[in-house]
Structure 1
């Protein structure tokens, strides 16, 4: 993006006026001054238009962190030109914050490296980049800014508070323990591509012949409890703001991350849902660390939505019966919807409700629900481990 500075605009207007007056009234001196001004503007445009050949690489260390943990970005700029050294004004973009990058007399074939901290004091996805290089002519008439390199996201996950207890749901083994079977053998769940080490007796030959590659059956053990975490991301459920941030929603995200992480630690199936689902985010969980669009990545990117679709969400949960334990995490504005959530006990034998930031206790009509009133995620974890009904 190029633009004339105020000085450049004034000089260009003066050039046009001087040339017009000089030619109109035959004043060669004015014509000469106008021509000189026009040449100066043209020189400035030509100088600023020179595009340096820069190669920009960046890496985040690490690219996924919990809120408050340190993260750094390493930016390397290399001058791939062959003739001219680059002396430029550049800045990188780290979220909403510009980061100056010195590029003074960067010779051809040389590179410079800058390392700076990425802010992680808030949950979210911090976009870093692109590098913005600004060129100015010596007279200060023209500025030209160009982007270099791409954008790298840094995922700031919610804090995870350790949970020592997990729901056992409706399915138990005869000795009272939850059997942990990573690849169950009772009920068919889905088909996936064959990987080295899979048993050939699990190959689904008819589908393999149709798609042209080996496909194997993925089974699940129905005796394992299945946990459904429903995060209430409706704006009406979190009405209070502090510096533009709904602290009750941040606490609910921390609680959701804690439950999901505890379920993965115990090898229990878990599904993370949003009350107002994001179109681009799948409902199925991924890697526990958040890689590949996993639940922690989804929690980092979660935002409050203006739509109030709790009735449609509860209807879907009742219809699909995604598990046997439902964990509903909401804010002060979601207390009035506990009746609709409690009606799901016919489909989910165990229903746990976490209410964050409420100044009053849970209303009547919550019989049969495990209700945890907590000011933040840490208090939720402490009360969660104190529940005796797992």
Structure 2
């Protein structure tokens, strides 16, 4: 039933013979069988042959229906299509089901049922009256979840019944599909912090500098390369045609850090502080990719997405849509970590040129605030959205905890643009507030790299 093509239905119980057929008897069929047996016993005791014939008829009818239905081999194929397969939380997706009768005989009454997790809604059921030979039926239903995650759909089940309603058998398909519910993404306004706001520009570092003939780094010839770029010295050295690399601008980099420590967040559910941080991370990632940045998702555990390649960033070497999809899939299933600190993330960040750093942080004690402050050292610009889970647990209007202001001050003194996140506030407003704080405080000193706040 996956997108790859229709799948045939199979008996859910396997080869059970008569036992499987009898297990499929409906209440009506069991009643007829019991009445027939009772009538046959009474006829034998009373010596009434006519009553015996009636009893045999009542008992044999459901058995015949069960046997015929069990031996009926409908060649039915089904497929499922999700539209879309990746949907934001609180948004609806539509599931399209298609049934094809690939046999030469028409089917009887069919009940179509799809297995759906309860969080997506009630289990859908459809009744298909009669599908002619070579015919097709298409139905659809909607699913919706307020909770992000990956949810299996299937297997699809068919319930077969006889014309008298004596027996009902279930046959199922074997494949599943997966619906990915990603965090909600909020559109962010284009603002500017420090450095250039676009992904390319004269102020960007070049992947290869303009160098002399001896410093040229060649590569193998590819179909379509200009022959005027052939590097004859390297060609003679390697024994194959080599060409000079063109100077290529490197995209501005942006690292988005998500704090997932269980100690840093309280509460659960769609309106919790942690879910806001995940949604904010998704919004920042999509926004920076759309602005032309090479982006990396980093968590407090030190794990980065899309991976630990040469630089770990995505957007320059692969399509932005693919990178965004990979990071959204990761955020769809991200959960609290057991870590107590941000030291692993700091070890990753201090290893090289990280460009712009955007962090979504939970509760910080003095030690973790100090670690977070050190992350700013190698970044051209850094902005932190700090959540107070205690205030979020109290709801909108809840009084923030006193130590939070001290933590914000420590981050700002280290060069961060630190913004407190009140309960229920949209990220777009805080995005503008960060730009206002930057403009008020003036550009922070950098440590040899530039970054943009776009």
TM over 0.5: yes
- Taking the aligned partners of 2:102 and 2:274, their CA distance within structure 1 comes to 47
1:114 aligns with 2:139: yes
Aligned to 1:100: 125
Alignment of 1:42-61 (within 5 A): 44=66, 47-48=69-70, 50-61=72-83
RMSD value over aligned CA atoms?
A: 5.0
Shift of the alpha carbon at 1:346?
A: 3.0
Does the CA-based 8 Å contact 2:191-2:432 persist in structure 1? no
Change in CA separation of 1:216 and 1:287 when aligned onto 2, cut-off 3 Å: farther
Q: 3-state DSSP class of the match of 2:255? A: strand
Alignment of 1:224-263 (within 5 A): 225-241=252-268, 244-245=269-270, 247-263=272-288
Pick one of 100, 106, 118 that aligns with 1:84. 106
Aligned to 1:296: 328
Change in CA separation of 1:162 and 1:193 when aligned onto 2, cut-off 3 Å: farther
Shift of the alpha carbon at 1:229?
A: 0.6
Does the CA-based 8 Å contact 1:54-1:79 persist in structure 2? yes
Aligned to 1:163: 189
Shift of the alpha carbon at 1:264?
A: 2.0
Larger Rg: 2
Does the CA-based 8 Å contact 1:127-1:151 persist in structure 2? yes
Aligned to 1:25: none
After TM superposition, the score normalised by the length of structure 2 is 0.62
Q: 3-state DSSP class of the match of 1:258? A: helix
Does the CA-based 8 Å contact 1:332-1:355 persist in structure 2? yes
Does the CA-based 8 Å contact 2:82-2:94 persist in structure 1? yes
Shift of the alpha carbon at 1:327?
A: 1.7
Aligned to 2:446: none
Q: Cα deviation per residue 1:329-350 (whole Å; 9 max; x = unaligned)?
A: 1334788732221122333353
Pick one of 403, 406, 414 that aligns with 1:363. 406
Does the CA-based 8 Å contact 1:355-1:371 persist in structure 2? yes
Q: Which runs of 5+ in 1 are unaligned?
A: 22-28
Alignment of 1:165-184 (within 5 A): 165-168=191-194, 178-179=201-202, 184=207
- Taking the aligned partners of 2:427 and 2:111, their CA distance within structure 1 comes to 44
Change in CA separation of 1:9 and 1:245 when aligned onto 2, cut-off 3 Å: farther
Alignment of 1:325-344 (within 5 A): 325-332=356-363, 337-344=368-375
1:270 aligns with 2:295: yes
Aligned to 2:449: none
Change in CA separation of 1:322 and 1:41 when aligned onto 2, cut-off 3 Å: farther
Q: 3-state DSSP class of the match of 2:278? A: helix
- Taking the aligned partners of 2:282 and 2:244, their CA distance within structure 1 comes to 31
Q: Cα deviation per residue 1:100-146 (whole Å; 9 max; x = unaligned)?
A: 23322111211111233332544444544432223356565664241
Q: 3-state DSSP class of the match of 1:317? A: helix
Deviates more, 1:194-203 or 1:49-58: 194-203
The aligned length equals 366
Q: 3-state DSSP class of the match of 1:307? A: coil
Q: 3-state DSSP class of the match of 1:381? A: helix
Does the CA-based 8 Å contact 1:239-1:332 persist in structure 2? no
After TM superposition, the score normalised by the length of structure 1 is 0.71
Does the CA-based 8 Å contact 1:86-1:107 persist in structure 2? no
1:72 aligns with 2:58: no
The structure where strand makes up a greater share of residues is 1
Does the CA-based 8 Å contact 1:236-1:334 persist in structure 2? no
Aligned to 1:373: 420
Change in CA separation of 1:61 and 1:6 when aligned onto 2, cut-off 3 Å: closer
Does the CA-based 8 Å contact 1:92-1:131 persist in structure 2? yes
- Taking the aligned partners of 1:362 and 1:194, their CA distance within structure 2 comes to 59
Does the CA-based 8 Å contact 1:227-1:325 persist in structure 2? yes
